[in-house]
Structure 1
Amino acid sequence: MIRINQIKIQHDGKYHDSNELRSILTKKACKSLRINEKNIEKFEIIRHSIDARKKPDIFHIYMVDVALKGCDENVVVKKCRDKNVSVIADKGYSFSEQVEIRRKVIGESFTEAEALENATHVYEQNGNVNKDNNKNSNKVVIVGAGPAGLFCGYMLAMNGYKPILLERGADVDERTRIVEHFWKTGELNTSTNVQFGEGGAGTFSDGKLNTMVKDKDGRGREALRIFVENGANEDILYEAKPHIGTDILRNVVRNIREKIIACGGEVHFNSQVVDILTSGDHVIGVKYMSLCQNDEDHTNTDNPGSEQIIKCNKVVLAIGHSARDTFYMLKDKKVNMEPKPFAVGFRVEHPQELINLSQYGQEKPDGLMAAPYKLTATTDAGRGVYSFCMCPGGYVVNASSEEGMLAVNGMSYSRRDGKNANSAIIITVDPRDFGSEDVLSGVEFQRRLEKKAYELGKGKIPVEFYGDFKKAIDVETKACGTDKAESDCNDAHVIPQVIAFADGKKNTPNMCGEYVFADVHTILPTDLNTAFVEGMEKFGRIIKGYNSDGALVSGVESRTSSPVRINRDDTCQSVNVRGLYPCGEGAGYAGGIMSAAMDGMKVAEFIAAQNI
């Protein structure tokens, strides 16, 4: 296989469909390799990014892989004498190969299996297991149907296992109806909402699929392939910043679930796990509560409020970062956990045209999607401030999951055609900020902030103009241009209309859920507010107008990542409860849709390696 980097195409203002794009790139590849198109056996676009450093001239940069027939690829590469052309190994992801690698990590041992069998026998003798569930003794139970749980279940189901997924929230269709009702009325369902339900928190988000996780085993590309196979657009396989959008993602997770069921797995919605059953230091089952009556096609039909037990010796704990009651249950069970750093802050909105103008040099560039950005800074006090979950053409959404508390998130549809760009601007916090040494002190820190936000807006999203926020904080900031952004923003292309956008027009919120203007600056502690303002002022040197008085600040953004880590060993099992597999974002091992999906795949490999 030959890889060609840096194929450059100048943007002509047109949108090219996949067939046109492949034709253009094939011709350029043939010219670079000095071959005829008939010599191409396989052609694949690997990566696409946009180079807008010479605004308003914009270039598309592609990486492609080409397999040849009838000629020696090494000879072809040597003759073309191009540093951007090289021969690579054509090796994709293989579940079976990864399972073999995991077996070597686990080692040959029968001790664990014998201990599990003995523990199960003791538990049966105590009469605590429903005999109807004895048949489930060798099944895997996956707690949570977010990206980690779904991909773990999918990989197991597609490879001959029959996992049981338990999700406290509703299926994606019922969930969508419940969430939209909440946004219209403010009536919160604490078990089905933006945080809980099929697909996890990512279902009501931008659906970004980029990750910083290293992918030497190919899980990331395989996850993207699975997304495409289940309804996502093919371009996510090569876009440098792939995203699905909440509208498409809902269909994708439904299709993944249906395949799990078709392969013999089970998916139970409205089924909240309330206990992990153990004997000694081994898992022997789970207890869950049926929250309501369900359909009989893909969910359980237990009586509402009834408790059920599933006997098993493998439990994948793929809970989300908002499963606070589950964290407390695990604390009571003395499952080994530790507090971890995360970040809190606000959602910041600007007109999308302002961001387009800064990044592309044009307010409404033909043939290009709404422009994204990425910003980072370090304050004088040493705190990190950075953009997170940036949503071009998106919405700020009420993402609450507990009564009397309010949290926000960002969401966009596949077209990203909303009027505003929004991003979380967040500040790093760690156990020193939480006010306690308790393992769940980070949870209570989040709750205090969310309670303030709820009371401030009386249940509605509180919003404040940045100019008013900054004036209230009254902090002297030192804006400097040393922090790096994803693209340069120099004065040559930032024409006066940028400032007109920022200061001459009062931005109006683009939100799902009711909002009210209020004193948002009263939510965070003073030192975090100071860090926020300092970061915003620095970002204004990178994107002109970013720190304008008309920018909108809403809060509170408190669910950026899990406040705890459920510690696990090299086999992905809890360090003190055998058979318990902490997995994904809630367990502290992922930070988004892709990394959670990849972690779910990794855990599936370890489970399969144990030959259950």
Structure 2
Amino acid sequence: MIRITELRLPIEHAPEELEAAILKRLGISSKDLIHFIVFKRSYDARKNIALAFIYTVDVSVKNEETILAKFGHDQHVRPSPDTSYHFVAQAQDQSGKPLSERPVVIGFGPCGIFAALVLAQMGFKPIILERGKQVRERTQDTWGLWRKNVLNPESNVQFGEGGAGTFSDGKLYSQIKDPKFYGRKVILEFIKAGAPEEIAYVAKPHIGTFRLVGVVEKMRQEIISLGGEVRFQQKVTGFEIKDGEIAGVNLESGEKVAARHVIIALGHSARDTFKALHEAGVYIEPKPFSVGFRIEHPQSLIDRARLGPHAGNPLIGAADYKLVHHAKNGRAVYSFCMCPGGTVVAATSEENRVVTNGMSQYSRNERNANAGIVVNVDPEDYGGSAENPLAGIDFQRALESKAFELGGRNYEAPGQLVGDFIAGQTSTEFGNVIPSYKPGVHLTDLAQALPDFVIEAMREALPAFDKKIKGFAMHDAVLTGVETRTSSPLRITRGNNYQSLNIKGLYPAGEGAGYAGGILSAGVDGIKVAEALALSMVQVK
């Protein structure tokens, strides 16, 4: 096929105009066009030009070689790359007999789902151990915290089928390098399981929480239909290691599951499992992460600032943003996990602690926009070292416990108006922006919630962000604390073979291991690790 890039059309064009534009671009008639598919669609919404969609299309035509030769010097007309997924192995030994040994996958978030799915599709019949519940039961438990101030430590935003990404915007874009198009495999599997087909080509695809629930269920059903086994409420509490090799895992129930090939796709909040890995002698090192607050504005303000006269156009939808500021104290302040038309959610997994995160539905039609405004912290800031690789967890817990205290000790979150935060004065009442966080927001002085260097950097950054997005530092915008789980505070380091540096057969993967950040990158990492495990099991030379 032929790939055409930078094909521009008015945003309100008729469907047949795209085909006409392709014919004109290639200089061919309709009888020479076999078919085409849209690979990517973005939009150009600069304020002083006509609003336009920008397409990348893959086109099948007659006389392809002749047409490519004609456009030999045109960088926007090239052969289409092969974006299809190719399995690296099948579950057979070198004599062609099926393998009886089964790999184990710990965790059933995006990384674990895709690791298990690809293994199942190759015939390896994985056993999946998930400490939480099935996604619909888990959703009910999560609403229990949001509506009734009751936390289930094993079934919440962090733990359960679908992982933390289930209660997010369902964003499916990433800045990872992906030369083998693993991300395409992730996207197409989501569509196969019921996600909107547009996620295959829009520039910033998302699914939304409610749709993700059904998608995750269908992916689980496929894994089971291929011989996989998904076991819920199976918390791993220990690891059997013999002579530097994984031999199995111990469950809270007392059961032992023997396995020589184990993927640990834990997510960034499995703190007790991190401790068990450390106690078993698995090599772990501390890593940087970020902490901060959630900020909420009227979505209409963000739309006007980002889209100008195009604000409110339903073909574009709610506007997003991405901001960064390098503060005088050497810290980077940046927006994180921006959720257009969404809500701020309670995301703790431990009792008597408060954690915030952001979430949007597919429609993105809630009144407020929200994002994390976070500041980088390094191991030196929290005492992390080779001897104490879990220090970042202690640092997070201390901040989350303080937030619980500032919020009133009932899972309400501490909050403050942006104007008062910049001025260094306690807020006493909300203005035009009503926070969306449930169970509720208790106004206070957020300077008490985070280290001084974080507060200093954020107070400098917010007015700077206002110069990029007019109204960003509006007095009535709301800050809600605390955002501490931007990424894992540690890395379960692995080698080029994707195995733990010091434990053979143990495959650290995804966000919890420090190798991903978001649904798409976690899914891609799960595929990579599954491939490495599969090749190891079949002993391909």
Question: 1:321–1:559: 8 Å Cα contact kept in structure 2?
Answer: yes
1:552-587 deviation digits (Å, cap 9, x = unpaired): 100100000000000111110001111100010000
The answer on 1:466 being equivalent to 2:418 is yes
Matches within 5 A, 1:153-552: 153-289=116-252, 306-362=253-309, 363-437=311-385, 438-457=388-407, 458=409, 459-472=411-424, 506-552=432-478
- What residue in structure 2 maps to residue 66 of structure 1? 59
1:451-489 deviation digits (Å, cap 9, x = unpaired): 111111122022210111111179xxxxxxxxxxxxxxx
1:485-508 deviation digits (Å, cap 9, x = unpaired): xxxxxxxxxxxxxxxxxxx96211
1:176-204 deviation digits (Å, cap 9, x = unpaired): 11111111111100000000000000000
- What residue in structure 2 maps to residue 303 of structure 1? none
Partner-residue secondary structure (3-state), 1:57: coil
Aligned AA (2:412): K
Partner-residue secondary structure (3-state), 1:53: coil
Distance across 2 between alignment mates of 1:329 and 1:570: 24
The answer on 1:600 being equivalent to 2:531 is no
Distance across 2 between alignment mates of 1:538 and 1:82: 43
CA positional deviation for 1:516: 2.0
The answer on 1:10 being equivalent to 2:10 is yes
- What residue in structure 1 maps to residue 481 of structure 2? 555
Partner-residue secondary structure (3-state), 2:105: strand
Matches within 5 A, 1:31-70: 31-55=24-48, 57-69=50-62
Distance across 1 between alignment mates of 2:27 and 2:439: 57
Distance across 2 between alignment mates of 1:469 and 1:186: 27
CA positional deviation for 1:145: 0.1
Q: Aligned-residue CA RMSD in angstroms?
A: 2.1
Matches within 5 A, 1:57-96: 57-69=50-62, 71=63, 73-79=64-70, 83=74, 85-96=76-87
Matches within 5 A, 1:101-180: 138-180=101-143
Question: 2:298–2:433: 8 Å Cα contact kept in structure 1?
Answer: yes
Question: 2:283–2:500: 8 Å Cα contact kept in structure 1?
Answer: yes
Percent of counterpart pairs with the same letter? 43
Distance across 2 between alignment mates of 1:55 and 1:347: 32
**Tell me, which stretches of 5 or more residues in structure 1 are unaligned?**
101-108, 110-135, 290-305, 475-503
Greater mean deviation of Cα atoms: 38-47 or 26-35: 38-47
Distance across 2 between alignment mates of 1:74 and 1:534: 57
CA positional deviation for 1:512: 3.7
Distance across 1 between alignment mates of 2:77 and 2:9: 20
Distance across 1 between alignment mates of 2:412 and 2:380: 30
**Tell me, which stretches of 5 or more residues in structure 2 are unaligned?**
none
Aligned AA (1:570): N
1:399-445 deviation digits (Å, cap 9, x = unpaired): 01001111000000000000011000110110111045321111111
Distance across 2 between alignment mates of 1:413 and 1:55: 31
Aligned AA (1:567): T
Greater mean deviation of Cα atoms: 56-65 or 165-174: 56-65
CA positional deviation for 1:551: 1.1
Question: 2:425–2:445: 8 Å Cα contact kept in structure 1?
Answer: no
CA positional deviation for 1:54: 2.8
How many correspondences in the alignment?
Answer: 524
CA positional deviation for 1:40: 2.4
Distance 1:365 1:512, change over 3 A: farther
Q: What TM-score comes out, normalization by structure 2 length?
A: 0.93
Distance across 1 between alignment mates of 2:72 and 2:228: 52
Question: 2:286–2:384: 8 Å Cα contact kept in structure 1?
Answer: no
Question: 1:137–1:313: 8 Å Cα contact kept in structure 2?
Answer: no
CA positional deviation for 1:55: 4.4
